Amino acid sequence: ADAEKLKPVVKAKALGVTVNYPLPEQDACKSLTNGECPLDEGELVTYGLTMPVLKSYPKVSIHLTFSLVDENDNVHVCFELDAKVVDA
């Protein structure tokens, strides 16, 4: 389906608890490195993602679920990955 707007939704699971991980930029259309909203069905675009990691975050393994959803909360892309928070 076409998408007029997109927003990122990130959930982080650590130590058996799942929490929302808010990103500073909630308008995913502003983070497209090619293309622009509205998007047509089947259109290929690239989304650039920067996730802030604060020093106060616990140094644990986490499971992240990332998706881009439209104004009707329809998921247009989704992926999951395992990560570990470490000191830089």
Range of the domain at 68: 7-84
- Which segments within 1-88 are labelled E, that is strand? 7-14, 17-20, 32-34, 46-47, 61-69, 75-84
Which residues, including other chains, have CB under 8 Å from residue 86's CB and lie 6 or more apart? 59
For residue 41, what pLDDT is reported?
Answer: 86
23-35 mean pLDDT: 93
Smallest Cα–Cα separation from 43: which of 87, 2, 8?
A: 2
Which residues, including other chains, have CB under 8 Å from residue 72's CB and lie 6 or more apart? none
Exposure string over 14-33, b if 16+ CB within 10 A, otherwise e: beeeeeebebeeeebbebbe
Confidence band of 27 (pLDDT split at 50, 70, 90) = very high
Alpha helices (H) along the chain: none
CATH classification of the domain holding 14: 2.60.40.770
Q: pLDDT per residue over 37-84, tens digit each?
A: 999 888 999 999 888 888 888 899 999 999 999 999 999 999 999 999
In this predicted structure, the answer to whether residue 88 has a pLDDT above a threshold of 70 is: yes
How many structural domains comprise the chain?
1
For residue 1, tell me if it sits in a domain: no
For residue 2, tell me if it sits in a domain: no
For residue 1, what pLDDT is reported?
Answer: 57
Confidence band of 35 (pLDDT split at 50, 70, 90) = confident
